[in-house]
Amino acid sequence: MMETHSFTNQLLIAMPRLNDPNFNRTVSYVCEHNADGAVAIIINKPTDYNLAFIFEQMHIPVSHPAANQMPVMFGGPVQPDRGFVIHQPAGTWRSSLHVSDDIVVTTSHDILEAIAKGEGPSEFLVALGYAGWSPLQLEAEVASNYWLNCTLDIDVLFHTPAHLRWEFAARSMGIDIHQLGDASGHA
């Protein structure tokens, strides 16, 4: 029987051999992982939208124009019309999952209203959709060398440009992801 280890609050780095178009060269933040399976949000695949589009669709007035330019990530193929805000600090939003002491995932409308006013969390990332795994599926994929898992690096999550997050996440582990072949191991 496979040993269960929680990947909650870790990053999943897609190995070069993972060719699924939803996950190729992705970095995902694991929000929840337990006996029921796992949920993660891809943090490095920008959509064609920025927050201005989301604010417009949700009829949220914007008084902080800089928020309009923030990119919106493709969070994963499950419920791609559902929004998620990964952020710190926690705040008092209506629908939040405290993943760790520092990182929270919020799905309620009130956080977007606050961001539009410039009153939202100091650091945040907005994504549409999520990735999900059934019980023991993620463990099997890690064991089969489809993913590297590593401790969350806040700089990768909030301070690294999206197009560099895959390389930088691996580099945070001391790995040059481009040097790994199809048969590389996992962490």
Examine residue 76 and state whether it is found in any structural domain, yes or no: yes
Q: Which residues contact 21 (CB under 8 A, 6 or more apart)?
A: none
Cα(173)–Cα(168) distance, integer angstroms: 9
Examine residue 187 and state whether it is found in any structural domain, yes or no: no
For residue 5, what pLDDT band results from cuts at 50, 70 and 90? confident
Cα(168)–Cα(118) distance, integer angstroms: 29
- Of 19, 41, 18, 15, the closest CA to residue 30 belongs to 41
Q: How many structural domains are present in the chain?
A: 1
Structural domain including 140 reads: 10-179
Cα(183)–Cα(124) distance, integer angstroms: 35
Q: Which pLDDT score is estimated for 177?
A: 86
Examine residue 97 and state whether it is found in any structural domain, yes or no: yes
Examine residue 169 and state whether it is found in any structural domain, yes or no: yes
Which residues on neighbouring strands pair with residue 10, listed in sequence order? 151
User: What CATH number did the domain enclosing 103 receive?
Assistant: 3.40.1740.10
Indicate the pTM of the whole model. Answer: 0.91
Examine residue 143 and state whether it is found in any structural domain, yes or no: yes
The predicted-structure confidence for 89-126, as pLDDT tens digits, reads as follows 988 898 999 999 999 999 999 999 999 999 999 999 99
